[in-house]
Structures are given as C-alpha cells and as structure tokens.
Amino acid sequence: MTAPFNNICMVGLGYIGLPTAVVFALRGVNVIGLDVNQKAVETINEGRTHIVEPGLEDALRRTVSAGHLRATTRPEAADAFLIAVPTPFRQDSDERIPDLSCVEAAARSIAPVLKRGDLVILESTSPVGATEQMAGWLAEARPDLSFPQTHGEGSDIRIAHCPERILPGHALTELVSNDRIIGGMTEACSTRARKLYKLAIEGNCIETDCRTAEMAKLTENSFRDVNIAFANELSLICDKQGINVWELIRLANHHPRVNILQPGPGVGGHCIAVDPWFIVSQTPDEARIIRTAREINDHKPDWVLAKTHQAVAECTAETGKTPRIACLGLAFKPNIDDLRESPALDIATRLATLYPGQVDVVEPYIDALPPGLDGKAQLCRPRDAVADCDIVLLLVDHDDFRSMPPPSRPGLRLIDTRGVWAGLPN
C-alpha cells in the first residue's frame, strides 16, 4: 500500500510556489514552504503575501491560521518536495544558455533531509534533461539512497517533472482546474506524483515521461511566442503602410479559422520571453521559426523606443525644450505586479537613462520604483503624469488605464502600444 503524504515541502515561494503551497494547504495538506528570502518567509508566517495575486492573501491567512502552512529558510523532512525556483538564461556571446543554478541549489539543499519513499518533483520550466540532471545532483549528495536513473522502478526516491501552466492573476483557480502533465523518470514515479496532485487538482493528470513533460511546457510557450511575433510583425508592416493594425486584426479575425493575437511593446514574463530560447539552445539548427519569433519579439521594444524618439524630436522642434514623457505601466502583463523580463520596464528604463529627469512612471501595482529606475524617474498617479507630460506612452493595458478617457489636448502625443486608445471596439 502506498504511503500517504503527511506533509509536503514547497521549495520556492514566488509567483508559482506560494499559490501552489496555498492550494494544497486549503485542502488540509500540511505544507512547509522553503525559501532563501528571510523577509518573504517572515511575511508569509504573518499571513501576508509578498506578491500580488487576487485572492491569495486571504487564502494564505486562513491556511496559516489553521496551521496547515508555515514557511522556513531551513530544509525539513517531508514526504514530497515540489521545486519551483527560477530558471533564467545566461547570455554567452550571442547565445542564451539555460541557467539551472537555482535548481541545483534547491536540490542540494533538500538532499540531506531526504528519506526512502520520498517524492521530488521539479515544477520549474526547464530545458529537456533538467529533471534527470536534478536527479544526478541528488544522487551525488545522497549515495546512501537509490534513484531512478540507476535503480529504475525500485528506487528509494521517486522523481518527476510537472510544469506549471497558469495565468498570473488567476493562479488559485487555474492551479485547481487546469490539466497537469506529469512526467516521471519511471512509471512508478509518475504514478506517485499523480497521487500527490490529485489531493488538490480537479483537472486531469496526464502521465508521460519527464523529457516529454519538459518539452511540452516549452512547446506551449513557444507556440504562444510565435503567434505573438506574427501580430508584432504585422504591427511593423501596418505602421509603414499607414494601416491601423488593430482594425486590421479585428477584421481578419472575422474569418472562422483565423484568430490573430494582439501586438504589444514586446513579450515579457518568466515563461514566454525565456522558454523558447531553451529549445533554440539545444537544437539551434532546427529551431528556425522559434528563433525568428523570439528575435521579432525581442526587437519590438527598440521599435517602440524609435517611435518615442521621433515624438521627442517633434516636440523639441515645436517648443524648443525637451518634452516630459509619461510611461503607463511597467509589469509584463495587465493587472499584476510582476516585472520579470518586462518590455515595458525595459523601455521605461532606457528612456529614463536617455532623458534623465524627464520621465514619469505610472504603475498602480508597485509602491516603489525598481532599482533601474530609482533616482532616474518618478512614480506618479495617472492623472498627474498625463497632465504634466507632452508624450504619453501606454505600455501595459491595466484596467486602471482602460477606464481612463484617452488623453487629449493640443500638442500631446500618444503612443499606444496596446491598442487601448488606438484600437477600435470589437
């Protein structure tokens, strides 16, 4: 008979780890949250969140109060360990190479407390082979235990990969309702991992091998990236042709088999802006469309900057002074506080460097400017920024901005990268 999961350890308490820990704790599972950030740990143990996610703070408060969730900076024994830590890439010359140092650190941190029968799941989006690499680090640290790569179905430790696939802003719902792909290093690993997730998940748990599970997540995000690149490329073409790209896409999408996405200032976030490079780094000669899509989306902030420079030159020629620029939004997508790989943040930072003292930033989901902007720009309320600036650059379609009337006064220049004011209603 399979041993029960008396407690689980969530390694990494960020945008994925903390909501995941809360979802399990809401169902009565005892969860130990492990993170290297002492301040985040203290905040969580007080029943407060250090990230913005609708409904999360209330759910966290209830689970902490009930004694089902607590956080720590020191690894403790558990029956299952779920690892959700950053997997960025490092830039080596012109190539972007996956950086698994956080995964390695997480694996080595929990290795001393592993015991026979434990389950270790890598949730971090990773290049193909990362789960097996993690198993190697664990085996190196614990030669007294057996692992799937050497002992197969009879290993002491079960290891699997289960990539997260949630939409920020809807984490608590999608963590429960979405299907999960579970890739075990063996069938026994997959089965054990599926039993864990079924404690909290209502969606289907689909079993496969760990390499296919890793590639599935990379494929999902690359598919999105390629489609966004098509929309962004259309926006460049339409700009040269004098066509309203928002109206064009609206009309084209009336075709029953066409569903073009919306263009923007680029692509951000820890997934879509990063994961396709994992495929490119491992198969550079084959991943031609994926690479081109990434390059198109990575170039889009440069195009937005060029449009802004043009507006600055026009304003300067008319008034004889350097104009003020309002950047509306820093997050990588609307209605969240996540700035990771954000093209809006990149654009605002570069503008503040080029035009020091002339840039106002509006971001309703943060209380202080990030280090790259601190001292170079000022954080303002929407009305103040729009009233004082000569150029308004809409970078993120937060609901706060959508509810604003389009700024309008003589001489004001609008650069709408999201189609909030430049687009037409569906």
Q: Which of 219, 209, 150, 220 is closest to 185 using CA atoms?
A: 209
Distance of CA 224 to the CA centre of its chain: 13
Q: For residues 100 and 161, is the Cβ–Cβ distance under 8 A?
A: no
Q: Helix/strand/coil (H, E, C) string of 114-174? A: CCCCCEEEECCCCCCCHHHHHHHHHHHHCCCCCCHHHHHHHCCCEEEECCCCCCCCCHHHH
The span from the CA of 94 to the CA of 303, in Å, is 20
Q: For residues 211 and 182, is the Cβ–Cβ distance under 8 A?
A: no
Residues contacting residue 53 through CB under 8 Å, at least 6 positions apart? 15, 18, 19, 168, 169, 171, 172, 336
Residues contacting residue 247 through CB under 8 Å, at least 6 positions apart? 423, 424
Q: For residues 221 and 271, is the Cβ–Cβ distance under 8 A?
A: yes
Length of the chain: 426
Catalytic residue (choose from 271, 327, 380, 389) = 271
Cα dihedral across residues 388, 394, 396, 400: positive or negative: positive
Half-sphere exposure of 328 (CA within 13 A, CB side): 31
Q: For residues 315 and 391, is the Cβ–Cβ distance under 8 A?
A: yes
Catalytic residue (choose from 9, 217, 315, 376) = 217
Cα dihedral across residues 217, 222, 225, 227: positive or negative: negative
* 189 carries an active-site annotation: no
> What Rg do the C-alpha atoms of the chain give, in angstroms?
24
The span from the CA of 29 to the CA of 165, in Å, is 22
* 39 carries an active-site annotation: no
Rounded to a whole number, what is the distance in angstroms from the first to the last CA of the chain? 56
Catalytic residues, by residue number, are: 217, 271
